[in-house]
């Protein structure tokens, strides 16, 4: 297949599976799941340092920033203002100018506040950050975000942590036809076939967290996700056969006995 | 003097710098970011940034998280 690496804003990504680091049993399980997934991109949240208990271990002791690209996110932010502050702190703490911008609109659904996301993205792009926005599966929103300078968009497959899979593949297809930047499906996938479907649609990558961390065996599921992405990507590049209503024999009729 | 550190009141020596405070708290500089009264303090300015009574300081680092659901953990305080 040659080099099929994904490039965003000049940064080359070896893996098309991006993973989160939340909700694992402990840091060791996080590390093993990430290794099994074969990813080179991990997303992390930005939180207050525990001042009282300094003995607590740091995630980055387990995930080597030299080995993985660290993608800070603004998860848990409900306003453009908080998301901007969090993203700017991440950039200062950091490692890179990459940020996964999330502005959540509602605690029950965790759906993105697209309007606030657009507002925050404008400010952060001006500050020189590479903004990868989490958004609804809305082609118009995707276009607006790309028009202001986002080098990729991250539409949801389904609500965060729901595991429902791609609920609207047609919208994802329209987003891909609407914008000329990479489309990364973010949130809501549940298992390896969901990932394969996203990749078969032609998505450029998939970001997930709970689908691995909430599996009975996260390490096995991480490996399954790796193959899901590879299978889906290959199938997309191979170009699937058209769907037909009636049967078409695959064996020749000629030479059959009794003819 | 008293400052607000990550949302909690904390007594610190008068005029302590960000650099000394992080040393005092045993926090590695390279993995954190600091905000003072909602303005980012660049790492290069830690040593020369002296704090004042009532300053609100946020010290953050990277934690586990991804497509984070319910347990969003600590947020940056108002």
Give pLDDT tens digits for A40-79: 999 999 888 888 777 677 788 888 888 999 999 999 899 9
Q: How far apart are CA A103 and CA A226, in angstroms?
A: 28
B2 DSSP β-pair partners: B11
Does A195 have pLDDT greater than 60?
Answer: yes
B65–A44 C-beta distance less than 8 A = yes
What pLDDT does A239 receive?
96
Asked if residue B69 lies in contact with residue A161, where contact means CB atoms within 8 angstroms, the answer is yes
**Terminal Cα-to-Cα distance of chain B (whole angstroms):** 21
Summarize pLDDT for A28-41 with one digit per residue, the tens: 888 999 999 999 99
What pLDDT does A2 receive?
63
Interface check for B55 against chain A (CB to CB < 8 A): the answer is no
Angle between helices A114-126 and A139-147 (to 10 degrees): 20
Asked if residue B55 lies in contact with residue B4, where contact means CB atoms within 8 angstroms, the answer is yes
Interface check for B29 against chain A (CB to CB < 8 A): the answer is no
- Compare A51 and A176 and report the one with higher pLDDT: A176
What pLDDT does B46 receive?
94
- Compare B26 and A235 and report the one with higher pLDDT: A235
What pLDDT does B44 receive?
92
What pLDDT does B47 receive?
95
B5–A22 C-beta distance less than 8 A = no
How many contacts does A have with B, using Cβ atoms within 8 A? 143
Does A233 have pLDDT greater than 60?
Answer: yes
What pLDDT does A3 receive?
85
Phi/psi at A202 (nearest 5 deg)? 105, 10
- The most confident of the ranges A91-95, A193-197, B67-71 is A193-197
| Beta strands at B56-64 and B8-11: parallel, antiparallel or unpaired | unpaired
Low-confidence ranges of chain B (pLDDT < 70): 65-78
Give B69's contacts in chain A (Cβ within 8 Å): 23, 110, 160-161, 210
Q: What does the block give as tokens for B78?
A: 């108002």
Q: How far apart are CA A62 and CA A59, in angstroms?
A: 5
Nearest CA in chain B to A92: B33
Nearest CA in chain A to B30: A93
Identify the three-state secondary structure at position B24.
Answer: helix
Q: What does the block give as tokens for A35?
A: 């290794």
What pLDDT does A182 receive?
98
Query: Active-site residues of A: which are they?
Result: 100
A24–B25 C-beta distance less than 8 A = no
Interface check for B69 against chain A (CB to CB < 8 A): the answer is yes
Cα–chain center distance at B66: 23
Give B42's contacts in chain A (Cβ within 8 Å): 92
What pLDDT does A61 receive?
80
B56 DSSP β-pair partners: B4
Does A243 have pLDDT greater than 50?
Answer: yes
Give B6's contacts in chain A (Cβ within 8 Å): 48-49, 51
Q: What is the sign, positive or negative, of the torsion defined by CA atoms of A7, A11, A12, A15?
A: negative
Give me the half-sphere count of Cα atoms (radius 13 Å) on the Cβ side of residue A141. 22
- C-alpha separations of A173 from A57, A89, A188 in Å: 42, 34, 17
- C-alpha separations of A65 from A16, A42, A62, A96, A127 in Å: 18, 9, 9, 10, 23
């Amino acid at each position: 297949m040659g080099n099929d690496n994904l490039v965003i804003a000049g940064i080359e990504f070896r893996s098309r599976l991006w993973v989160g680091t939340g909700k694992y049993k402990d840091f060791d399980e996080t590390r093993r799941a990430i290794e099994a997934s074969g990813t080179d991109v991990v997303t992390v949240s930005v939180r207050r340092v525990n001042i009282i208990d300094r003995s607590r271990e740091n995630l980055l002791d387990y995930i080597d920033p030299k080995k993985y690209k660290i993608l800070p996110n603004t998860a848990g932010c409900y306003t453009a203002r908080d998301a901007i502050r969090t993203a700017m702190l991440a950039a200062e703490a950091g490692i890179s100018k990459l940020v996964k911008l999330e502005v959540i609109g509602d605690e029950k659904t965790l759906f993105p506040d697209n309007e606030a996301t657009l507002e925050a993205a404008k400010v952060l792009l001006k500050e020189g950050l590479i903004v990868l926005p989490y958004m609804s599966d809305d082609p118009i929103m995707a276009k607006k975000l790309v028009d202001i300078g986002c080098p990729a968009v991250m539409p949801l497959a389904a609500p965060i942590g729901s595991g429902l899979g791609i609920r609207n593949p047609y919208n994802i297809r329209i987003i891909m036809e609407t914008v000329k930047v990479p489309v990364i499906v973010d949130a809501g996938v549940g298992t390896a076939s969901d990932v394969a479907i996203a990749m078969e649609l032609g998505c450029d990558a998939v970001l997930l967290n709970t689908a691995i961390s909430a599996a009975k065996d996260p390490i096995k599921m991480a490996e399954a996700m790796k193959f899901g992405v590879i299978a889906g990507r290959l199938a997309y590049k191979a170009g699937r056969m058209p769907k037909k209503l009636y049967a078409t024999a695959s064996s020749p009729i000629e030479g059959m006995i009794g003819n | 003097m008293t400052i607000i550190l990550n949302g909690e009141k904390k007594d610190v020596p008068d005029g302590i710098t960000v650099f000394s405070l992080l040393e005092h708290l045993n926090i590695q500089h390279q993995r954190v970011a600091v905000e003072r009264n909602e303005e980012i303090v660049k790492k290069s300015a830690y040593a020369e940034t002296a704090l004042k009574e009532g300053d609100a300081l946020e010290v953050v680092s990277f934690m586990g998280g991804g497509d984070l659901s319910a347990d969003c953990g600590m947020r940056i305080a108002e």
